[in-house]
Amino acid sequence: MLLSVIIPCYNEELVILETYKRLTEVMQKTDMDYEFVFINDGSRDQTFPILFQLSQEDNSVKIINFSRNFGHQCAVTAGINNCNGDLAVIIDADLQDPPEVILDMLEIQRKENANVVYGVRKKREGESWFKLVTAKYFYRTLNKLSDVKFPVDTGDFRLIDRTIIDEFNRLHEKNKYIRGLISWMGYKQLPCYYERKERFAGETKYPLKKMLKFATTGLLSFSKKPLKVSIWAGGASVLIGLIYALVILILKIVHPASFVVGWTSIIFIVIFFGGVQLLTIGILGEYIGNLFDEAKDRPEYIIKEKVNL
Ligand code: UDP
Ligand code: MG
């Protein structure tokens, strides 16, 4: 049995050696063969040279080197597409997901013969309250909006087996929301509770902008409900318009004198409905943008070189 550990890395020079050490210690406690698949996602620091050095000393260190930064989800996709394991673990490079939890995941997988063991964060240390709150509500809202139900407080840290890997390799959609796709596949999926730690060193590679993009990807690829906003908003504005017309009509009949032209209300209405229209066109645009990405059918990532693979 071979276990692949998939580790996306973007400017992680400060943590990568420690991560390698901790992971190796954990792997030696299992009776499995293992490989580390590091994906260097266009780092601009010393991440690649450090990884390369490791790969020369240790054959189990394999590297996929991207031609530029394609993003976390693309890096994980490349890892899954290229790993050889019967089982694979997806883990962050920054040691926020403690490598020791892999042992618990393996145990659950064996005992219960599960296809997926996903990490559920009982507690998150050292994250801003903003991230905690937005993450908490994001996962719950997504669940409400989506037709598929996802486990909440769950990231990409998980163990998957060959069945899942092979199914995943059949998916060719572009903007992937990996944790959602894996839940969507079904099979036997079990939780493994753990405490998410503080980042070992360096700072987050997920600034607000990337977080928002990621959240939008999740929402758009698993829910068509935002499109319905347009229908509801449209319906509501037609209704309001009709009522307003009726009121004016009645006022004109019963109280013609009081009827002065309402400049304010017209402006208000123009701005309000202009806004509603822009908003709904924007939502449409997001979906069309995704269709556009699919139609172009570009590869999700470009690999400059592979080491030991
Ligand atoms: N990452 C990546 N490409 C990116 C951004 C992040 O490969 O464009 C990797 C990063 O190196 C880390 C993982 O994705 O291993 C999670 O990123 P990070 O820890 O910065 O996110 P956070 O935990 O703060 O949400
Ligand atoms: Mg992190």
Q: What is the pLDDT along the chain (309 residues), one digit of tens a residue?
A: 999 999 999 999 999 999 999 999 999 999 899 999 999 999 999 999 999 999 999 999 999 999 999 999 999 999 999 999 999 999 999 999 999 999 999 999 999 999 999 999 988 777 788 888 888 888 888 888 888 888 888 999 999 999 999 999 999 999 999 999 999 999 999 999 999 888 888 888 888 889 889 998 988 888 878 877 777 777 787 788 778 878 878 888 888 776 666 766 787 777 777 777 877 887 888 888 888 888 888 999 999 999 998
Identify the residue whose tokens are 């572009």: 174
Q: Which atom of ligand 1 is nearest to the CA of 12?
A: 11
The radius of gyration of the chain's CA atoms, rounded to the nearest angstrom, is 25
Best of 5, 7, 10 for a ligand 1 pocket test (most atoms within 8 Å of beta carbon): 10
| Residues shown for the chain | 309
Say how many CA atoms lie within 13 Å of 302 toward its Cβ: 6
126-157 pLDDT tens trace: 778 888 888 888 888 888 888 888 888 899 99
Q: Which two tokens stand for residue 235?
A: 């319906």
Identify the residue whose tokens are 């954990």: 26
Given this model, what pLDDT does residue 260 score? 65
Q: Give the containing element (helix H, strand E) for 267.
A: helix 263-296
For every residue of 174-207, DSSP letters joined together read SS--HHHHHHHT-S-EEEEEEEE---SSS--S--
Other beta carbons within 10 angstroms of residue 303's beta carbon come to 17
Q: Is the CB of 97 under 6 A from ligand 1?
A: no
Nearest to 306 by CA among 11, 12, 78, 144: 78
CA atoms of 176 and 173, how far apart (whole Å): 7
Q: Which ligand lies nearest to the CA atom of residue 96 in the structure?
A: 2
Beta carbons within 8 Å of 62's beta carbon, 6+ residues apart: 35, 36, 37, 38, 55, 306, 307, 308, 309
Q: Whose CA is nearest to atom 13 of ligand 1?
A: 92
CA 61 to ligand 2 centroid distance, Å: 21
Nearest to 167 by CA among 179, 156, 188, 182: 182
Given this model, what pLDDT does residue 103 score? 96
Given this model, what pLDDT does residue 56 score? 95
Q: Is the CB of 158 under 6 A from ligand 1?
A: no
pTM: 0.83
Q: Is the CB of 196 under 6 A from ligand 1?
A: no
CA 10 to ligand 1 centroid distance, Å: 6
Q: Which atom of ligand 1 is nearest to the CA of 75?
A: 7
Given this model, what pLDDT does residue 294 score? 87
Q: Which ligand lies nearest to the CA atom of residue 210 in the structure?
A: 1
CA atoms of 214 and 13, how far apart (whole Å): 24
CA 198 to ligand 2 centroid distance, Å: 8
